[in-house]
Amino acid sequence: MNTLASLDSKINNPQQLMTGLSTIRGTCPIVTTNGCFDVLHVGHLSLLAYAANLSPYTIVLLNSDRSIKHLKGPTRPINACDQRAYMLAALTFVWRVIVFDELEPTRLLSEIKPDFHVKSDDYKTKNIPEAALLKRIGGKMRFAPRLEPWSTTKILHQLAKNLPTSN
């Protein structure tokens, strides 16, 4: 019988992740991506599929609830961190999930030292803190094509527009 507990091995703390990485480093590229993944949608799946095409060792660095509240405001996240982690761990595209509490994943990236870090191509024109770090550690940024109009914020706005108002 499949249970959520069967996914626990894919949700790691930093020490577990580093142990796992030591056994596979050098056999295939290590790929990371990061985000909130609050309301999982097809845009997220497209990003993760792109990352998995670079390597079967795709690690999702997942924002904690606290960091999302700081980034997105007091009404977010919609889904709690453990729920988001299990949803991501259930995907075949994802090798490991690790939660981080900071606003940016740079500390974890400096420990993991990925070969590639994937972001949506709408970040190409933005100042990405990860880019400078990756350059220093020998990794490369890769940008996945973004599927319009998918974003959690847009989905939530659409839901709010469709909800009846109370009198």
So where are the chain's domains? 28-157
Higher pLDDT residue, 111 or 164?
A: 111
DSSP code for 64? P
Instruction: Give the type of residue at 102.
Output: E
Which H helix or E strand runs over 57? strand 57-63
Say what the pLDDT of residue 32 is.
98
| Residues 87-104: tens digit of each pLDDT | 999 999 999 999 999 999
| Residues 43-75: tens digit of each pLDDT | 999 999 999 999 999 999 999 999 999 999 999
Residues contacting residue 160 through CB under 8 Å, at least 6 positions apart? none
Residue 166's pLDDT band (cuts 50, 70, 90)? low
The pLDDT of 71-82, averaged and rounded, is 93
Say what the pLDDT of residue 167 is.
45
Say what the pLDDT of residue 60 is.
98
| Residues 101-151: tens digit of each pLDDT | 999 999 999 999 999 999 988 877 778 888 999 999 999 999 998 776 666
Residue 12 has pLDDT above 90, yes or no: yes
| Residues 17-29: tens digit of each pLDDT | 999 999 999 999 9
Higher pLDDT residue, 14 or 147?
A: 14
Residue 1 has pLDDT above 60, yes or no: no
DSSP code for 138? T
Name which CATH class applies to 28-157.
alpha beta
Alpha helices (H) along 63-147: 65-72, 81-89, 106-112, 129-137
Quote the tokens at residue 119.
Answer: 């972001």
Instruction: Give the type of residue at 157.
Output: H
Query: Cα dihedral sign for 37, 39, 43, 49?
Result: positive
Residue in 24, 38, 8, 45 with CA at minimum distance from that of residue 115: 24
pTM higher than 0.85: yes
Residue in 36, 43, 111 with CA at minimum distance from that of residue 68: 36
3-state DSSP assignment of residue 155: helix
